[in-house]
Structures are given as C-alpha cells and as structure tokens.
Amino acid sequence: MTIDDTIKEIESVCTYCGVGCDIVGMVKNNKIIKIYAQKDGVVSQGKLCIKGKFGFDFVASEDRIREPRIRKSFLEKNPKIKAIIADKIKPFDDLFVTCDLDAATTAAAMKLKEIKSTYGGDSFCAVGGARTNCESAYSFQKFCRETMESPHVDNCGRICHAPSLKGMKETIGEGASTNPYADIYNAKFMLVIGSNTMEAHPIIANRIVDVAKKDNALAVIDVRETKLVKYAKYNCVIPYESNLLILNMMAYVIINEEIYDESFINNRTKGFDEFKEKILNDPYANPDYFKDIEGYEYLTKMIPNIAREYAVKDSMIFWGLGVSQHLDGSHAVMAITHLALMTGNVGKHGAGLMPLRGQNNVQGACDVGCLPYYLSGYKDAPVTGLMTPHMIDAMLDGRIKALFNMGEDITHVHSNVNKIEKAMQKLEFVMVQELFMTDITRYADIVIGVRSAYEKTGVYINAIRRLHLSQPLVQSDLPDDWEVIKLLTEKFGGDFKHKTSEDVWHEVTEVSPNHFAGAKYYRLKRHRKRGMQWPIHNEDTPILHLLDFRTDDGLGRYVYKQYQPRGMVQEILNKNFYKKSLDGFYLTTGRILAQYNNSSQTNLSKKLNKNYSEDILQASIEDKDILGDKVILKTENGQSTVLSVKFSNKIKPRTLFVTYHHAKSRVNTLFGDEADEFVATARFKSVRVTVILQ
Ligand code: SF4
C-alpha cells in the first residue's frame, strides 16, 4: 500500500471498555500518534479516560505476533502435519517455528479434523469474542457449532455479566441496558450498586457526577468507598455478599410503606401479590436485621431512606461486577429489576436499568451467539453447550480435547487458575488468536496474530446496545479474526461464502432480524456519529420496554429469592469476625483506571503502566498494626505472589480489595469453583483469605 506522509484524522471507537467512546485517531505514516475524543461525540461528550487517550502504543508494539507460530513439540507429535507444511516452516525460537497463514490454518484444520473424527465434534470448545468485532464473534460461534458440530462456545461474559443477562431476561425479557447514556441527565435519583464506575466506566461516571452535583441525587452501595462516594448523598458501605439482602430490604420498605406504583404493577407486571406476600414474610427483609450486624448498624436507617427516594422519583440503577460475581448474582439482578417493576422505574425517559458491561464488544459477542445456550439474536440453541467452567471440568475428565481461544485469556482471567492450568495440560490441541503472547499462549500449539480493533472495520456494540461501525485507523497486513476462521472453514471443505466484513454482518442481520434487521452497513455508516441502538428496524430503539416488556406475554415478572446468611454476615452474627488474627479477612477484587482486564494492551503503554505495573492490595488503616507492607494471600485453592499493601480509611476493618490485572500476581488462584447457581459466573467479589506476612 502507499503510505501517506501527511497526518490523517480518522473517527472510530475506543477499543477498551463497554462505554464505547467515540474517538479520533491522528495517524502519520500509518502510525497512531494521538487519540482524542470527538468533540461532538455522543458517547464521549468530548472526553476520554486515560486508557482511551494513551492506550494505543500496543498497536505498533514490536511484541505483536506478526507471523503465525507453531509449537515445535506439536509438529514432532504430528509428523503428517509437519510433512505437509515442512517447506513453509522457518525457525523462530526454542519453542516455536513460524510460517504463513495458509500453512498455520492447514495445520490447525488437519488437527481439528483428526480430533473431530476420533472423538466427535463435541470434544472441541471455543472461548472468546468479546474484544473483537461482531463479524468475528459471529463467525467464531458458527465455526464451533456448524463446522466442528460442537455446542460448546462461550465468551468472557461468563465471568462478568452473564448473571445480568439471566436476571433481566427472566424478569423483563431482555438482558441489556434499557436507556441511552443521555437519559442519565433526565434521572432524578441514581443508585449505583457494585460498580466502581469512576475507574471502570469513567465516561459514564462523568454524567452520574454531573447529575449528582446538581441534584444531590446519588446513592452508592458497595463493600468499600469508591471514588464516586465523594458525590453521593448516601454512602452505603455494606458487608461482603449482602447485595441480595439489601435489595430485598429495599423491596420490603417499598411494599411495607406502600410507595409502589400500583397502576404500573397492575398494567405491566404479573405475580406481584405473591411476591409481596413473600417479601413481607421474609425473615431477613426488614432493615432492622442490621441492628445485630456489628459495624453496619447504620444500614437500618440508610436502606429505607434510599428505598424511599428511589421509589418516589424517576430513578436509574447502575450495577457492575460487584453485583454479578457472586453465588446469587443472577438473583441479585432479579431483585434489582423487581425494584424497577414495583415503582414503574423502567420503560420511560429518565428511569431504567443499566448493567455496566465490561469489554468493548461483550454485549455484541453475546448478541451474536457466543454463548452456549443462545444463537445469534438470543434464539435458543438447539443443543445447550458447556459454560467455560464446565468446559474446564470436561478437559480434566477427557471429554474435551481441543480449545480454540480468540482474544481471551482463560488461564488468567478465570477463577481457579491452578485447576485450569492442569486442564490445559490435558488438551491435545490449543489454538489461540491474539495480538500478543498472553498467558494462555504458554499452552498453545498454534498462535495466530490478528488485527487489533484499530486496524479493522467492524461492528462493536456497547453497554447501551449502541452499534458503532468502526473504521481502521491504520492499515495492517494481518488478518481479521473472521478471515482466519474463513480459511479454517474452507479447509474443512465448507463454503464460508463471504469476502468482506460487510458480507458477514449482512448474514448476522438476516439470521437475527429481531435485533438487527435494519442495521445494514450503509445505515451504520450514515449514522456513525449518532450510533444506533438495537433493536433496529426502520428506526432504532434508544429506550426499551416503552409499551411492553420483551417477555412472551409482554409482562414483567417477579422471581423471589430469600437471602441466605453466610460468610461475613454470619461471622459477625456469630461474634467471631472482629479479631486480631491473620486468618479470616474478606477479599474483593476489581480494576483501576489505568489498566484493563488482563493488561495485555495497557501493559504496553508507558504512560499507563508507569504507576500501575503491579497489582495493589487495599486494607483498612485500622488493621495496619497486624498487617505489614508486603503480604501473600492464601485460600484452600491457591495463593498470590507477594502484594504491596496500601492502607486506607476507605475500606472497613478486616476487609481487603485487590486489583487483578497482572497474571504474575496469581490473584485468580485464590478463587475456587464457587459460582452463580444459574450461569456459573465465578464468585470473584468475596473470598475468605488468610494473610501471610512477608
Ligand atoms: S471510558 Fe472506556 S471507552 Fe471511554 S475512553 Fe475510557 S476505556 Fe475507552
């Protein structure tokens, strides 16, 4: 290609979080030299966080995988494959050789065919798709289901908002945010629960802060004080694992004080009387329960105050992984939607429900079928596949023999990492598509380098169902993920048919008309600036559920679940929580602003990595006398490496918070298989740990 020497400015979408900020890339000599917010950006409102602004060094990094790599030991074990591609192989390092894409996909297809014919298609599984575009995510699940004939496909939504999808689908029929970001300005009250919004979704936090400053209308419910608390009227710090308890208490107050919206309940929902009966007879739902929870007695009054304000105003609820990553995450999400259904705070301007989705395209990956129980457009899969944690069990007991991993790092970001590492060693074949040699490539037989989001065209769907057709900032010779899948499909004898990403997306719109019928590329291009929110037909749908919920009969439902005392709450009740001991601290996990997930991209930005190249443990200043500056955390599942401790008055005694961006910290080894009862999302937000002083 001809490389232009002048600076070009190209509009696209940020590659990091689910906020989906509209960016402008300044490009010189095919290299990004600066990224800034579109001044009139509908999402960014002219601002980006530091990841969006500075996190682009990775694109031109020398560490990118420029040529496919094949593990030498794989070729030794597979002499027929080696013979076929022998003349394409070039030396690389002690472990890998390199080759061209044709040879790498020939080797992968030969091995996958062998595995399919020997063990059956369902001995194959596929994980990924939330970081790449919808075209690639759709092709990925299709390859798994149709070419490999395996139902086992999943994405990293498993460890984040799968409970939000489950909880919202059960109660209101659609597992996605109900309103656009702009509508936050119409809210009269906002409840943020289990979300460190200022660090994890900073550009959404800007709007929340604007409204909070103007109207003093914010409640923040969390297990520690996050930065958003500075703007909160209610700083509601709760015990670990008590979300469902708190949310049921809010329902109790609203019902007991009869401040619900009777007309909305009668016209738009069913089963309220039964729900009301259960909540009023729930032994834990009266906020007076907190009179006996030492250290948290103030919640007896604060929870009713939050419930009253939420019920009588146009209110929005925002939540993050602090709600979903628990044993009862799906039920907590249902308890959130109950509040909206009882008070009519959904299906209108200025009121609604916003699960704050994590990765740039995790909404899209779920929408186009990268889930074991849904095809594209949330149609029930004919055969339900395994969720990622159950794939790991199947690897260990020999049912799964091969893994295709696209843009995810399951040996780092999932729980029970020690177990996953054992499972990986049992596989006969691992193929990875990635930008860099991430942790999982330690187990990969074939690694194929692919384009980053800033090098390709494609549809990304953000946390408010907004489709953004991205355009490349720089040109690359690498393939897009779907192009590798096309080659694989063709080497299986299949007809991939499509030549461009537009062709692939066209198929998505045809197989998922309920969501995307009117979302053709030409319209997405024309409305690139504004974006379009699904479902998209002649018009798009900024607000969901205006007339009916998307359930079979259009009515919202209540799914009552009684809170079960456990963990920290139970220990406080038993009077053995507060003690001077290194045993029995409660740990939660989360992000910091400058790093992103497994940090494979942010790690490569000098600006971002400067002060955050290590994970940090936050502990209460009141525990300083028994904790040192350096500790190891330990559970029955594993132990971290040495972590630096930062003491703070923003976290309660005997509770801890740790970031988990860096694989070397081994934080994920602390968590076992305990997970949400419906969708197996790991309980990353609470584990009892022992501290080992260093
Ligand atoms: S808030 Fe998210 S989408 Fe926006 S700039 Fe930051 S990382 Fe990118």
The CATH number of domain 162-355 is 3.40.50.10800: no
Q: Which two tokens stand for residue 644?
A: 């630096």
Tokens of residue 221, six digits: 């419910």
The predicted-structure confidence for 664-678, as pLDDT tens digits, reads as follows: 889 989 999 999 999
Please give the distance, rounded to the nearest whole angstrom, from the Cα atom of residue 179 to the centre of ligand 1: 19
How far, in Å, is the centroid of ligand 1 from the Cα of 15? 8
Structure tokens belonging to residue 322: 């602090």
Residue 54 near ligand 1, beta carbon < 6 Å: no
Q: How far, in Å, CA of 83 to CA of 69, rounded?
A: 16
pLDDT in tens, 192-231: 999 999 999 999 999 999 999 999 999 999 999 999 999 9
Quote the CA–CA distance of 330 and 170 in Å, as a whole number. Answer: 9
List every span in the chain annotated with CATH 3.40.228.10.
162-355
> Residues 674, 683: contact at Cβ < 8 Å?
yes
Q: Mention every residue, 6+ apart, whose C-beta is less than 8 A from residue 523.
A: 532, 536
Ligand 1, atom 5: closest residue by C-alpha: 52
621 in Cβ contact with 648 (< 8 Å) = yes
Residue 525 has pLDDT above 50, yes or no: yes
Query: CA-CA distance, 459 to 456, in Å (whole number)?
Result: 10
Share of the chain above pLDDT 90, in %: 89
Q: Establish whether residue 112 lines the binding site of ligand 1, counting it when its CB lies within 6 angstroms of any ligand atom.
A: no
Q: Considering the chain, tell me which residue range(s) the CATH 3.40.50.740 domain(s) occupy.
A: 69-160+360-533
pLDDT score for 455? 97
Q: How far apart are CA 245 and CA 284, in angstroms?
A: 7
Dist. CA 485–CA 109, nearest whole Å: 10
Looking at the predicted structure, is the pLDDT value of residue 509 above 60?
yes
Fold topology of 8-60: N-terminal domain of TfIIb (2.20.25)
Q: Which mutation among 22, 49, 661 tests ligand 1's pocket best, with the greatest number of atoms within 8 A of CB?
A: 49
Q: For ligand 1, atom 4, name the residue with the nearest CA.
A: 21
Closest residue (by CA) to atom 8 of ligand 1?
52
Ligand 1 in contact with 468 (CB < 6 A)?
Answer: no
Q: Quick: pLDDT tens for 529-543.
A: 999 999 999 999 999
What is the model's pTM?
A: 0.95
Amino acid sitting at position 63:
D
Best residue among 11, 12, 14 to mutate for probing ligand 1, ranked by most atoms within 8 Å of CB: 14
Token pair for residue 529? Answer: 């600036």
CATH 3.40.50.740 fits 69-160+360-533, yes or no: yes
Rg (CA), the chain: 25
Q: Please state, in angstroms and rounded to a whole number, the distance separating the CA atoms of residues 357 and 155.
A: 13
Q: What is the structure's pLDDT at 410?
A: 87
For ligand 1, say whether the CB of 121 is within 6 Å of any of its atoms. Answer: no
Q: Given this model, what pLDDT does residue 304 score?
A: 98
For 567-693, CATH number out of 2.40.40.20, 2.40.50.140, 3.40.50.300, 1.10.3720.10 equals: 2.40.40.20
DSSP β-ladder status, 466-470 and 458-461? antiparallel
What are the φ and ψ backbone dihedral angles of 461, each rounded to 5 degrees? -120, 120
Whether 685 shows a pLDDT value over 50: the answer reads yes
Dihedral sign of CA atoms 611, 209, 681, 236 in order:
positive
The CA distance from 221 to 306, in Å, is 10
Measured distance CA(683)–CA(127) in Å, rounded: 20
Other C-beta atoms within 10 Å of 120: how many? 14
- 52 ligand 1 Cβ < 6 A: yes
* CA–CA separation, 445 and 560 (whole Å): 47
Residue 62 predicted with pLDDT over 90: yes
Separation of CA 51 and ligand 1 centre (Å):
6
The residue contributing the CA closest to ligand 1 atom 6 is 49
Query: Per-residue pLDDT for 600 more than 60?
Result: no
DSSP 268-317: HEE-HHHHHHHHHT-TT-SGGGGGGSTT-TTHHHHHHHHHHHHHHS-EEE
Above 80 in pLDDT, residue 604? no
Residue 471, SS3 per DSSP: coil
CATH 2.20.25.90 location in the chain: 8-60
Residue with tokens 């489709």: 467
Query: How many other C-beta atoms can be found within 10 angstroms of the C-beta atom of residue 497?
Result: 11
- As a whole-number percent, the residues of the chain with pLDDT over 70 amount to 96
Q: Tens digits of per-residue pLDDT, 583-595?
A: 999 999 987 665 5
What is the C-alpha to C-alpha distance for residues 95 and 15, in angstroms, rounded to an integer? 31
Q: Per the structure block, which two tokens stand in for 561?
A: 């679940």
d(CA 334, CA 353) in angstroms, rounded, equals 11
Starting at the edge strand that comes first in sequence, how are the strands of the sheet with 458-461 ordered? 458-461, 466-470, 532-533
20 in ligand 1 pocket by Cβ < 6 Å? yes
CA distances from 75 to 72, 84, 130, 444, 600 (A): 5, 11, 30, 12, 28
Q: Which atom of ligand 1 is nearest to the CA of 201?
A: 1
**Cis (ω within 30 of 0) for the bond into 535?**
yes
Provide the Cα torsion 234, 240, 244, 250; round to 10°.
-20
**pLDDT average, residue stretch 186-195:** 97
User: 120 Cβ partners below 8 Å, 6+ apart?
Assistant: none
How far does the centroid of ligand 1 lie from the alpha carbon of residue 585, in Å?
33
Q: How far is CA 532 from CA 64, 253, 456, in A?
A: 33, 38, 20
Say yes or no: CB of residue 13 within 6 Å of ligand 1: no
Rounded to an integer, what distance in angstroms lies between the CA atom of residue 86 and that of residue 75? 10
User: Cα separation of 504 and 376, whole Å?
Assistant: 13
Q: How far is CA 389 from CA 157, 229, 589, 639, 679, in A?
A: 12, 35, 19, 20, 10
Average pLDDT of every residue of the chain: 94
Where residue 497 falls (left for φ over 0; alpha for ψ -120 to 50; beta otherwise) is left
Backbone dihedral angles phi then psi of residue 352, each to the nearest 5 degrees: 170, -165
Mean of pLDDT values over 124-143: 96
Tell me where in the chain the CATH 2.40.40.20 domain(s) lie. 567-693
pLDDT tens figures, 366-377: 999 999 999 999
The reply to whether ligand 1 has any atom less than 6 angstroms from the CB of 18 is no
Strands 458-461 and 90-91: unpaired
- Ligand 1 site, residue 168, Cβ cutoff 6 A: no
Q: pLDDT tens digits for 308-349?
A: 999 999 999 999 999 999 999 999 999 999 999 999 999 999
Residue 329: both structure tokens together? 């995450």
Atom from ligand 1 closest to the CA of residue 52: 5
Burial class from Cβ neighbours inside 10 Å (0-12, 13-18, 19+) for residue 245 reads buried
Q: Would the CB of 23 count as within 6 Å of ligand 1? A: no
Of 505, 371, 364, residue with least CA distance to 13: 364
pLDDT tens per residue across span 421-432: 999 999 999 999
